[in-house]
Chain A
Amino acid sequence: MNQTSLTLLQGVVVEEEIHLTLVELCQACSAEEEHVTAWVFEGVLEPVGESPQDWRFGGESLRRARLALRLSRDLEINPPGVALALDLLDEIAALRAQLQRAGVR
């Protein structure tokens, strides 16, 4: 096993400091433009801008796009199914957060 040396790296917080174009988002999550476009159409991702060339995705889109990619690839879910699954997962996450705030573990 090889070791490489240390340098101090500064990162940027994606959710707050970054907007991604369609090409950048596809590169960041190894998805195809065709899939991302279909998810936008189904409301999984909500970029600002009119046409695909002008789309700008907020940093939160990165998490959603990767989740959408895994679900569609692993479970062979089509875009409307991915949209439904993500809505339900969001709802479950919100309910879990409520439980956690109330101290139920």
Chain B
Amino acid sequence: MKFKDYYEILGVPRSATQDDVKHAYRKLARKYHPDVSKDPDAELRFKELGEAYAVLKDPEKRAAYDQMGSQWKTGQDFQPPPGWDAGFEFSGGDFGAGPGGDHSDFFEALFGRHVGGGQRAHQHAQGRDHHAKVLIDLADAYHGARRGISLRMPMLDAQGRVAMQERTLEVSIPKGVHGGQHLRLAGQGAPGLGGGPAGDLYLEIAFKPDPQFRADGRDVYVDLPLAPWEAALGASVAAPTPEGPVQLTIPSGSVAGRQLRLKGRGIPGTPPGDLYVMLSIALPPADSEAAREAYQAMAKAFDFDARAQGKG
């Protein structure tokens, strides 16, 4: 087990007042909240902050933690000394009040495990609803699909300990579903209490990143590079769509940034989305004598100032 320096995590000295601790936590929590931050480590950092704050905001836990001394550094191998918490009485059983309630081994070794929480045990109650995220391919939204989804869920075993239970669900992904939507699977949440009905499972749909296509709601976007002469003179070119390439007529005088809309070729539905082909222009390199001559001929043929617009 590795030692965690909760003061370092919150960026406060060991002498910090309770107000300093709260202030530092609030500031960092806003910065690393996973709903707000784009930092790839945000979720991890936020969890760590919650854990550090759960200990340092509570004078009892903070005193117990301080008692271990200041010689420890983050990442050092650590075992709590036997009887380290003797003489401390923690009021209230719930250590999991921090965000998530899901703490490191280090925290659990010191302060014990937070079990369950949340819903009080009614005699007869519906189980809690669960939420999970699933990544699907864009093609799944066009055609519908069956997908095996693995979920891990903490469950209490017969001895009242928390054990991870893994279950695999075979889910039918309906045609036309798109990113940000939720699928509700009735009765697949937590079991009910005292014979009450089970909760539901909500799956939030997101698309796997695709090298070619970008989806926004039901609309789909794709880039199509053109040679300068195809854009200027018009052409018929093969354009990729999620359902396979189509032959597309490029109007003469097309410019970079122009969008061609293929109505109804987005994600299916009522109404279906559209596919937008975003035109760009790729310049051929002047890497041979013939190519250089062609560019020189163009320079002579056109009375063209590329910067004329900027001059107004």
Chain A residues at the B interface, C-beta cutoff of 8 Å:
1-4, 6-16, 18, 27-30, 59, 62-63, 66-67, 70-71, 73-76, 85, 89, 97, 100-103
Contacts and interface: CB of A to CB of B under 8 A. Distances in A.
A7 B176 CA distance: 22
B169 A9 contact: yes
Given A27-B129, A103-B278, A15 B182 contact: yes
A8 B172 CA distance: 7
B265 interface: no
A82 B86 CA distance: 42
Given A3-B166, A3-B167, A103-B223, A27 B188 contact: no
B253 interface: no
Given A27-B129, A27-B199, A101-B214, A13 B183 contact: yes
A50 to B, nearest CB: 26
A74 B100 CA distance: 9
B59 to A, nearest CB: 19
Contact of B174 (A13, A85, A97): A13
B33 A74 contact: yes
A8 B170 contact: yes
B168 interface: yes
Contacts of B182: 13-15, 59, 62-63
Contact of B181 (A4, A7, A14, A66): A14
Interface in B9-31: 26, 29-30
A15 B167 contact: no
Interface string B212-229: 001010000101000000
A11 B203 contact: yes
A13 B180 CA distance: 11
A75 B118 contact: no
Interface of B: 26, 29-30, 33, 35-36, 46, 50, 99, 118-119, 126, 128-129, 131, 146, 148, 163-172, 174, 176-177, 180-185, 188, 199-200, 202-204, 214, 216, 221, 223, 276, 278
B203 A8 contact: no
A11 B185 CA distance: 5
Given A11-B171, A59-B182, A75 B199 contact: no
Given A59-B182, A75-B26, A100-B216, A1 B166 contact: yes
A59 B53 CA distance: 35
B35 A67 contact: yes
Given A27-B199, A75-B29, A12 B183 contact: yes
Given A4-B167, A62-B182, A30 B172 contact: no
A32 B194 CA distance: 22
B172 A10 contact: yes
Contacts of A11: 171-172, 174, 183-185, 203
Contacts of B204: 63
Sorted nearest first, the 9 A-B pairs with minimum C-beta distance are A11-B183, A14-B182, A74-B99, A4-B167, A6-B170, A15-B181, A8-B170, A11-B185, A28-B129
A34 B120 CA distance: 17
A75 B33 contact: yes
A9 B35 CA distance: 29
Most chain B CB within a 10 A radius of its CB, from A4, A28, A102: A28
Contacts of B168: 3-4, 6
Most chain A CB within a 10 A radius of its CB, from B29, B128, B182, B223: B182
B166 A89 contact: no
A18 B29 contact: no
B170 A71 contact: no
Contacts of B35: 67, 70-71, 89
B169 A6 contact: yes
Nearest to B180: A63
